[in-house]
Amino acid sequence: MMTKFTQIPMSLAWARSDDDLDRSTARATAVRIDVSENEREAPQHHHRKGQLVMAFKGGVTCRVPGGMWMVPPRCGIWVPGGMPHSNVATTNARLFFLFVEPGAADLPDRCCTLSLSPLVRELIIEMADHTEVATAEAETLTTLLLSALSRMPVERLHLPLTEEPRLNRIASALADDPGDRSTIAEWAARVAMSENSLARLVQRETGLTFGRWRQQLQLIVAIRSLAAGATVQQISGDLGYESVSAFITMFRKALGTSPARYLRDFSG
pLDDT digits (tens, 9 = 90+) for 68-98: 887 766 789 999 999 999 888 877 778 899 9
Q: Which residues of the chain have pLDDT under 70?
A: 1-20, 37-40, 72-73, 131-134, 265-268
pTM (2 decimals)?
A: 0.72
Residue-level pLDDT at 265 = 65
Residue-level pLDDT at 72 = 66
In sequence order, what are the residues at sequence separation of 6 or more whose Cβ sits closer than 8 angstroms to the Cβ of residue 78? 50, 51, 52, 107, 108, 111, 112, 113, 114
Residue-level pLDDT at 183 = 95
- DSSP E strands, the chain: 2-3, 28-34, 41-45, 50-57, 60-64, 67-71, 75-79, 85-89, 94-100, 112-115, 154-155, 158-160
What percent of the chain has a predicted confidence (pLDDT) above 90?
Answer: 46
Residue-level pLDDT at 115 = 85
Residue-level pLDDT at 150 = 95
Residue-level pLDDT at 83 = 93
